[in-house]
Chains A and B, each alone.
Chain A
């Protein structure tokens, strides 16, 4: 049972435009959310995070939005650059049974075309 869902396996955008990656979760115990970026043959790299007490967090070109009532978060990349082409994973964490594990979605492959 997928607790964190990324329903779009892939996304293609033009350089300079906005990329919007979406993530849904089912477990209301999650209270911290993270986005990771992964290049082939490398481990995931932390990108940006948000606590459930906020609805927006911004870091340069990257902004994460959280809608708790809808159990939905999104990552906006503006403007998109070819170097942003990678697989993006959404992850969630919460104090569930004392474990602080991150639960990941299946990822969305972003391609930014020059």
Chain B
């Protein structure tokens, strides 16, 4: 596709429920990032993939958060046993490759845990 696509756009989960958020990066982009954005804040880094390798997961807030990118393209962010503090917009971004070029963001998934 022309841009980064994320689904679903909106997700309401009951506390304790597991959720899976999907990201389709720009075709051919090898770098993929997940960010979490709380209301009124800037995006906070969660994790980074180079192809299928997860090179940095230092931003994942707990072991309830898990991300994968098995074939180096589509990525899934999974949150187990969701809690209210997980409510945020989850942003995915992709970048052509290593080096300092811009990252392109998707529209995000707004997760609300009730």
* Residues of A participating in the B interface, judged by any CB pair closer than 8 Å: 4, 6, 31-32, 34, 36, 41-46, 49, 51, 89, 93, 97-107
Smallest CB separation, B70 vs chain A (Å): 21
- Judged by a CB distance under 8 angstroms, whether B40 is at the interface is yes
- Judged by a CB distance under 8 angstroms, whether B55 is at the interface is yes
* B42 near A107: Cβ-Cβ < 8 Å: yes
Residues of chain B lying within 8 A (CB to CB) of residue A4:
42
Whole-angstrom distance between the alpha carbons of A106 and B39 in the complex? Answer: 10
Also in contact, A101 and B56, with CB within 8 A (given A43-B91, A93-B100, A106-B41): yes
* 27 CB < 8 A contacts A-B: A31-B100, A32-B100, A34-B102, A34-B103, A42-B108, A43-B4, A43-B91, A44-B43, A44-B105, A45-B105, A46-B102, A46-B104, A49-B100, A49-B102, A89-B42, A99-B48, A99-B55, A99-B56, A100-B31, A100-B48, A100-B95, A100-B98, A101-B56, A102-B45, A103-B45, A104-B43, A104-B44
A-B complex: 6 closest residue pairs judged by Cβ atoms: A43-B105, A104-B42, A99-B56, A32-B100, A46-B102, A101-B45
Residues of chain B lying within 8 A (CB to CB) of residue A100:
31, 48, 95, 98, 100
Whole-angstrom distance between the alpha carbons of A31 and B55 in the complex? Answer: 20
* Residues of B participating in the A interface, judged by any CB pair closer than 8 Å: 4, 6, 31, 33, 35, 40-45, 48, 55-56, 58-59, 91, 93, 95, 98, 100, 102-108
Residues of chain A lying within 8 A (CB to CB) of residue B6:
43
In the complex, the number of residue pairs spanning A and B with C-beta atoms less than 8 Å apart equals 64
Whole-angstrom distance between the alpha carbons of A108 and B30 in the complex? Answer: 30
Residues of chain B lying within 8 A (CB to CB) of residue A31:
100
Among B44, B58, B103, B107, the one with the most A-chain Cβ atoms within 10 Å of its Cβ is B103
Smallest CB separation, A28 vs chain B (Å): 16
* A101 near B100: Cβ-Cβ < 8 Å: no
Among A43, A93, A105, the one with the most B-chain Cβ atoms within 10 Å of its Cβ is A43
Smallest CB separation, B108 vs chain A (Å): 5
